[in-house]
Amino acid sequence: MFNQVETGSLLNSLNIEFLVKPILILFVLGYILFALVIVRQVNLMSAVLGTNLSPILKTFAWLHLLGSVFVLMVVLIIL
């Protein structure tokens, strides 16, 4: 078992920020990819099943994509 002094020095030398930042950025990039898939699927659905609700769904899909890009910018600025 490690004692507290060895564990603390290990965490200080490892610097958690260098592990968390790339993982968080990759997660947000994956979420942007998911948002792009949503936009594509909504557009395909609207082409096949055109209803009165289609423009509203397209608007929400694009807002979702823009929101996820905004989150990426916030993550990059904060980190």
Letter string b/e over residues 14-41, b meaning 16 or more CB atoms within 10 A of that residue's CB: eeeeeeeeeeeeeebeebeeebeebeee
Domain that holds residue 63: 15-78
Q: Is residue 2 part of a domain?
A: no
Answer yes or no: are the C-beta atoms of 58 and 42 closer than 8 Å: yes
The pLDDT value recorded for residue 10 is: 60
User: Is the entire prediction scored with pTM above 0.85?
Assistant: no
Q: Is residue 30 part of a domain?
A: yes
pLDDT per position in the chain (79 positions), as tens?
555 555 566 666 667 778 888 999 999 999 999 999 999 999 999 999 989 999 999 999 999 999 999 999 999 998 8
Instruction: Give the span between the Cα atoms of 43 and 61, in whole angstroms.
Output: 9
Q: Is residue 3 part of a domain?
A: no
Q: Is residue 7 part of a domain?
A: no
Q: Is residue 54 part of a domain?
A: yes
Q: Is residue 8 part of a domain?
A: no
